[in-house]
Chain A
């Protein structure tokens, strides 16, 4: 019996969400008195032994380069075999694009009860109850997993990374055959040089109040000063002022950064569904009646074109 944490990586680097998943998996293992291990499919350039600081003693690796690309069908077979050979009883993923592709397949393959979007450690006082976000962030459900093997995917930014002492983890190579993929990837378009939205600690977002794409400079300047990612509301993406991958909300991307700054966004319920799990929300809007103020922690009623450049200046001062 052990806890096995799936390590997600791209371009040779382990994703930040995996550090959270590792910390979470290590805490679950500690709670149950089980060993915590990590599973890496493919290869990375990062130092794997350094993952020991998140509380895992062993990294199980299937070092076949063809696994660097995600094919959920192929990877599920490898993960299921790794679970069997390591005797893992709890498998942890991040609830990101990779986890959404894999966790359900792996759960079905193992006949394991599945909770996606977990936000807290399980309550094991009676059963195995995992709290997850439901109703698009408007409530939580406490879900009891009743099967012997359990699969959990952790909402990004829900569990704080815990880095302990630098005890290096050992790497154990697993010899598992990898099937050929039936998916032929023809193009990968990645946004270069920007903080990915789902991994960002701070997100600066603009809405229709900014009047046009030519005015996005003030949003980008503020984001730059904060090392933040930029986002936008649905009407902005629909009007092609900003690319669709920046659209946060119910139909776009759901995010939960530590700080979300909404500029010129009224705060429709569909937009809130994408951002209401943010730890702190700042709203800047010239309309004091904007519904977003009800969901905000801090607000400024004022003209974005006046307030935002000043805010950028003040941030620069404090960051110096």
Chain B
């Protein structure tokens, strides 16, 4: 059983979001980089749990990024996983990124590919679906529970207003959301072991990006809260009715 876990580096949740070069680039100065929380908490940890149950499971991590992504990949290796592959490229186009990972997946013959439900920077929720299509395998998006019995996965996923449980024979791509696993903290042994785990850099396949980011913008600032005295709830209702016109 070989599992490929897709890892993305993202700015920490509490980072100040600002742009530079005429609003065409994200301002990285002072930003703390972390493993995209959905990649870390849900997909990576679930893969590690599967390996703990069955030590013959092999976990590879993959990221698309330049050398500055390596500290984040090492952090992921400190949690678990046998080795990591870094595709030496940077892109904000989901087709480009998905194609690169699909290429690695084809070469590696993985039974299972995990992604997070989205990254917290681009909020694309796209990479898993693109990989699955390029490999022509089933895709379960927004999984909240994942179990494996031989080569059949039992996956629960979010649907509008509820959930659905399905059984699917591997190979399979799954995007993982809350519920699949619980967040873990790496221990000292893991951090030490991660230093010597193989981290291989490979050059990207020739793929054309299909989108480019022209510019960024920040939402208009909020006008500020209008406080209404607690003993005058009728005034709030009046404002919602007459000013905001939402009720």
Contact = CB atoms under 8 A, between A and B. Distances in A.
Physical interaction between A and B: yes
Interface of A: 10, 15, 70-73, 76, 95-98, 100-109, 111-117, 127, 129, 131-147, 182-191, 194, 196-199, 201-202, 226, 244-245, 247, 250-253, 258-259, 269-270, 273, 279-280, 282-283, 293-303, 306-307, 310-311, 314-315, 317-319
Interface of B: 11, 13-14, 17, 19, 37-38, 41, 93-95, 98-99, 120-130, 132-134, 136-142, 144, 154, 157-169, 175, 177-179, 209-219, 222-223, 225-230, 233-234, 236-237, 239-241, 244, 246-247
Contacts of A95: 125
17 contacts: A10-B160, A70-B159, A104-B125, A105-B130, A138-B219, A139-B19, A144-B211, A144-B214, A183-B140, A270-B13, A293-B227, A294-B222, A297-B223, A300-B227, A302-B230, A307-B230, A315-B247
Q: Which 4 residue pairs are nearest across A and B when measured between Cβ atoms?
A: A104-B129, A302-B230, A113-B210, A190-B162
Contacts of A96: 160
B125 A250 contact: no
A141 B239 contact: no
A298 B236 contact: yes
Nearest to A314: B237
Given A73-B137, A283-B225, A258 B164 contact: no
Nearest to B164: A188
A37 to B, nearest CB: 23
Contacts of B213: 141-144
Given A104-B128, A298-B228, A311-B233, A72 B218 contact: no
Contacts of B177: 251
B13 A269 contact: yes
Contacts of A273: 13, 120
B14 to A, nearest CB: 6
Given A114-B210, A187-B164, A297-B222, A311 B125 contact: no
A24 to B, nearest CB: 18
B222 A295 contact: yes
Contact of B228 (A252, A269, A299): A299
Contacts of B121: 134-135
A293 B241 CA distance: 20
Contacts of B142: 97, 100-101
Contacts of B94: 104, 107, 114, 116
Given A72-B139, A311-B233, A103 B244 contact: no
B133 A141 contact: no
A101 B32 CA distance: 31
Contacts of B209: 146
B216 A140 contact: yes
Contact of A113 (B95, B168, B222): B95
A200 to B, nearest CB: 10
Choose among B166, B239, B241 the residue with the greatest number of A CB atoms under 10 Å from its CB: B166
B162 A311 contact: no
B246 A259 contact: yes
B214 A142 contact: yes
A168 to B, nearest CB: 27
Nearest to B131: A108
Contacts of B136: 73
A127 B41 CA distance: 38
Given A100-B142, A300-B236, 17 more contacts: A101-B142, A104-B126, A105-B133, A112-B210, A117-B125, A131-B217, A138-B17, A139-B19, A139-B216, A141-B213, A184-B167, A186-B165, A188-B162, A188-B163, A199-B161, A245-B158, A295-B222
B217 A251 contact: no
Contacts of A184: 166-168
B126 A103 contact: yes
Nearest to B158: A97
